[in-house]
A and B are shown apart, each in its own frame.
Chain A
Amino acid sequence: MFENLSLLTLQQYWWFLVSLIGALFIFTTFVQGGQTLLYKIAKNEKQRDVLVASLGRKWELAFTGLVMFGGALFAAFPLFYAVSFSGAYYVWMAILFCFIIQAVSYEYRKKPNNFLGKRTYEVFLFINGSLGIILIGIALGTLFTGGNFIKNDMNLSAWTLQSRGLEAILNPFNVAFGLTLFFLARVQASLYFLNNIAHKEIEIQTRIQLKNDAIFFVGFFVLLTIMLLTMSGFSYDMEGFYIEKYKFLSNFLATPILLILFLLGTIMVLYAIFISLFKNSTKGIWFSGIGTVLVTLSLLCLLGFNHTAIYPSLSDIQSSLNIENSSGSHYTLSVMGYVSLMVPFVLGYIVIVWRAMDKTKITSDEIQADKHHY
């Protein structure tokens, strides 16, 4: 089946899959968002325990999502993986450190004799949820704005700035991307708490917090969208790469399906916020979750189609990467195509387990009665 597809079709298929995995990962960052709200929403230790327990049952999904995103990029677009991760070294390493400290924090936070103290682990969770997510947004922003690298005809790459990726934090688009993701994660965390926890006080505080974060999220999202639609991007043809004005606007117009996904996703996220704030609904997470996936998917797909660079080079435009010059071979993409058939199966059991675990909402009594809670 896959072996009969052309190389370009396989490259597009794999960029779509990578984008989908990235989009699902962004959805699961509600865990990170929640970690930044432990001292905002919870008014005492008991309430904080409920929030941590609620997030603690999902944290591994976000963590695994990031690992899967990296793994899929490595397998399908190894040149992108090689150039970006080594080039923007400090940014990626900072992201990884933010995730290393998250992984132990849930388990160790409440354990007696935990060496660093409960508050340290809570600070770790906050760093992961704030700096980690903002840096991921900045790193994703560089797919649109580019990086300072060159590659030779053997496809070996080098970064041209000593700052090794830190320069990306000076780019307004990247920063807007990071802050949008940060506030989106917090909005989604509130929606998740409303859906997952049965606790009147927490619910009231969560709705107040949701209102505050939603204002910032909408503001940054609008700003990001305006910047995206008015910025230039990197195109390519048979002659090589060149800069094109209003590249992403023209990509949206050239591929209306992406525009529809973007608009539909945006409406769903806004609807989720609306029903949660004004209709006292607890179902918002499902609308915002699907909406987040659709918007992120459409944004990442903007890069992989319509002759667009997936990683523009700011040092040498002809060193830029696209899905064609950075992908795995036809054979590998075909083999991995068969592996990708497992994706629906994996999503299926995640949904089943999620439903089984969350069919009743978490209560404070349940958490206090469980010796092994986080």
Chain B
Amino acid sequence: MDNTLLVELSRAQFALTALYHWLFVPLTLGLSFIVAIMETIYVKTNNPEWKKLTKFWMGLFAINFAIGVATGIIMEFEFGTNWSNYSWIVGDIFGAPLAIEGLMAFFMESTFFAVMFFGWNKVSKKAHLLSTWLVAIGSNLSALWILIANGWMQHPVGMEFSVDTARFEMQNFFDVLFNPIGVSKVLHTVSSGYVMGSLFVVGISSWYLLKKRDILFAKRSIIVAASFGLITSIFLITTGDESAHEVAKKQPAKLAAMEGLYDGHKRAGIIAIGQLNTKKEIGDNNEDPFIWKIEVPYALSFLGYRDINAFVPGMNDLVYGNKEHGIEPVNEKIEKGKIAIKALRSYKDSKKQNDLQNAKIALKEFRKYEKYFGYGYISDPKKIIPPIGITFYSFHIMVGLGSWFAGLFLLMLYFSMIGKIENKRLLLRASLFSIPLGYIAGEAGWIVAEVGRQPWAIQDMLPVGMATSQLDTTAVIITMSLFTIIFTALLIAEIKIMITQIKLGQEEA
């Protein structure tokens, strides 16, 4: 049965809900720490101005937090509702981080959130400060576990396929926890949240300076957020480099799409900026991949493999193979995958008939080819390459904006320190308009990570086509339409409330 439409709709719904959710999570991650830092200054200095300032940003945090929670609940349950095959096939590994997230992080967040907002006069100053820090830590722990789970999808480790239960089963929890792709993903993604939180505070404070109101409040906020933003944006760039290095090793097709690299070569350069040639196709050697480009020589080999002479495989190498560099053609992998599927079927049938001899032979055959199992469901070798355009442009938008943010924080901090920030109106405007850019960069990052993983739900193991629930497309269309309507309405509400609170300022809000 062709389930292409169902798969695409299921992917679209997940993408919709995830992209909406990610509009709010980064601000929660970053602003929670910034608020905690501000409250720490208040407790240290006992200056009520810092308390007022803390409460103002805390109010905005709460508005964002509520809609983050609202959009988040669906993410956990969607694995079951729309990706039930996935939930069974990898639930033994994937479910654990989600449960730990709930127990370790969600309860911490939700319990201390009440103290943070309503406990100012009910608990001691220090207990309140501790609660604020625990909300920040809880939010970030939550991100840690879900990103560990996502990292495992990008690079599955610490498991074995069980032929009896027909699923992957965990063999080593610590392999899953310390999966290098998972670790780099956690660090990179969480730091992007810190940068977003900083952009938000710096941008809004810039608006106050442009409007020549709440000057001292705005300057204080900029000092805290720009310092936090500068440190974390440098960390963001560093972890981004490490993340790309891991992608080069574990997801070469994603890297090739990120760079629009069709033919692999040594001493490969990075495309700083360029326009893809849409006529270019995999396997076609007549067209140039780019209409125009600016390339940094050697950089891709060096950043990807820490060696300027390293060979970086292109999409053609990955699809058609490259003997010199030991890359197997995909059609061979597909054939081996089909043998594995057949062997598993034979094993199951033999067990049912109590034919243990045949079951043993089938099992041996399966183990021989099991690493190709997922490839057996791929219909066309070219399909192992993710959509090139969206991956390439998303990656370059993310990198470009990430670099700009580091520069912005540096300038904001410098002019704040020398006391000239309120005169730099162009910089203040740039700072304000960088708030939406932060959201664009964050969403672009997730598009690179998830679109770049296609066609796999679990890299090289489980294609998305095999992972969905057996649903009617109508059911998914109905729920996706409802999500679109509700989330959009709530987003409009959130933005309107947020803008109103900002306009009211710290005295009135």
Contact = CB atoms under 8 A, between A and B. Distances in A.
The DSSP consensus for interface residues of chain B is helix
Contacts of A340: 103
Contacts of A75: 91, 95-96, 98-100
B457 to A, nearest CB: 14
Contacts, number: 257
A114 B107 CA distance: 28
Contact of A72 (B63, B71, B102, B166): B102
Nearest to A18: B99
B472 interface: yes
Interface in B219-266: none
B77 A106 contact: no
Contacts of A162: 472
B188 interface: no
A115 B499 CA distance: 12
B70 interface: yes
Interface string B106-129: 111111111101110011000100
B59 A64 contact: no
Given A72-B102, A86-B80, A104-B70, A58 B114 contact: yes
B475 interface: yes
A78 B100 contact: no
Interface in A119-170: 153-159, 162, 164
What DSSP secondary structure best describes chain A's contact surface?
A: helix
Nearest to B98: A71
B313 to A, nearest CB: 34
Contact of A61 (B95, B100, B111, B173): B111
Contacts of A253: none
Given A164-B475, A329-B169, A353 B98 contact: no
A82 B88 contact: yes
B486 interface: yes
A332 B103 contact: no
Contacts of A356: 115, 119, 122-123, 127
Interface in A39-61: 53, 56-58, 60-61
B481 to A, nearest CB: 12
A82 B91 contact: yes
B131 to A, nearest CB: 8
B122 A70 contact: no
Nearest to B123: A356
A96 B74 contact: yes
B500 A97 contact: no
A93 interface: yes
Interface stretch (A224-232, A243-251, A275-283, A341-349): A341-349
B35 interface: no
Contact of B81 (A86, A101, A107): A86
Contacts of B93: 332
B277 interface: no
A96 B73 contact: yes
A74 interface: yes
Contacts of A57: 114, 118
Given A68-B102, A71-B98, A96 B77 contact: yes
Given A100-B71, A103-B67, A372-B55, A82 B96 contact: no
Interface string B445-465: 000000000000000000000
Contact of B118 (A76, A96, A342, A357): A357
Interface stretch (B38-46, B303-311, B489-497): B489-497
B423 interface: no
A113 B500 contact: yes
Nearest to B100: A339
Given A86-B84, A154-B166, A61 B493 contact: no
Contact of B171 (A60, A89, A112, A331): A331
B21 to A, nearest CB: 11
A274 interface: no
A108 B80 contact: no
Interface in B463-509: 469-472, 475, 479, 482, 486, 489-490, 492-494, 496-497, 499-501, 504
A74 B93 CA distance: 10
Contact of A84 (B71, B80, B107, B493): B80
A267 B430 CA distance: 66
19 contacts: A60-B110, A63-B73, A68-B99, A71-B102, A74-B95, A100-B70, A104-B66, A108-B494, A156-B85, A329-B162, A329-B170, A332-B92, A339-B99, A339-B104, A342-B103, A342-B104, A346-B107, A356-B122, A372-B118
Given A53-B118, A71-B102, 17 more contacts: A64-B109, A68-B107, A70-B77, A85-B81, A89-B81, A104-B493, A107-B65, A107-B66, A115-B489, A155-B88, A164-B471, A329-B92, A332-B93, A343-B103, A356-B119, A357-B114, A357-B123
Interface of A: 53, 56-58, 60-61, 63-64, 66-68, 70-72, 74-76, 78-79, 81-87, 89-90, 92-93, 96-97, 99-104, 106-108, 111-116, 153-159, 162, 164, 328-329, 331-332, 335-336, 339-340, 342-343, 346, 349-350, 353, 356-357, 359-360, 370, 372-373
